[in-house]
Structure 1
């Protein structure tokens, strides 16, 4: 949970935790243990690198809500706007222009929301 909070921020984690129900509590525990406890906490890549990889994957796979969340998380991971722009250009080349076009729109909205409502 410490790694999750360091990447996504306390506000996001507190909001997500408040919405857990009996239906999804096992899934939420799985995500916390597998993603944040087993993968994001490893030493092999920095949080910045994991952040950029995750952004590319979410954009390529069309997971728009997760993409927006990870764009906003860059304020905590150290990934810069310029680096995200480069990653999305790479997405356009390897995952397709429509995927990158949508991702760029989402990134612009996410960055605008950060400017209006800092984490």
Structure 2
């Protein structure tokens, strides 16, 4: 965590935690908090403070665009667990199903078909868990 010259953090920790809770959703947030222990508390705090205190709270991009950026990067890095969280976060931040689908399709060009297929499976799981109808396939397509 970086600090101002007077030693105080440059962000409001409560604001960072509220943003984290919003992005990941209440259930994931509670599960995450319950998993904090003496071994992992420093890395968890670092992630909370840097990711959600320093970066996600910056004014340069709205949360929706930050979510889209995260999805694209996580597909390329093949980080399925985090991708699942951030697809849910994208929905929480106002992304539509169509926008998420387009990000996934865009990823095939830069990340490859296997990574894109994995991302689609993960996205389908998240959408089903949220009760979102995936629609019927168009015959002949």
Q: TM-score, normalised by structure 2?
A: 0.78
1:106 aligns with 2:122: yes
For the pair 1:115 / 2:131, whether they are aligned, the reply is: yes
5+ residue gaps, structure 2, are 1-16, 133-141
Residue matched to 1:39 = 55
Q: Residues 22 and 89 of structure 2 are in contact (CA less than 8 Å); yes or no, is this contact kept in structure 1?
A: no
Match of 2:4 in 1: none
| Highest RCO, 1 vs 2 (Cα 8 Å, sep ≥ 6) | 1
Match of 1:56 among 69, 72, 87: 72
Count of aligned positions: 116
CA-to-partner distance for each residue in 1:55-101, whole Å, 9 max, x for gaps?
A: 11111110000001111122311111101111011100111111111
- Runs of 4+ with deviation above 3 angstroms: none
Report the Cα distance in structure 2 between the residues aligned to 1:59 and 1:113, rounded to whole angstroms: 20
Q: Which has the higher helix share?
A: 1
Equivalent pair of 2:20/2:48 in contact (CA under 8 Å): yes
Question: C-alpha displacement at 1:37, in angstroms?
Answer: 0.3
CA RMSD of aligned residues (A): 1.2
What are the ranges of 5 or more consecutive residues in structure 1 without an aligned counterpart? Answer: none
- Give the TM-score of the pair, scaled to structure 1: 0.92
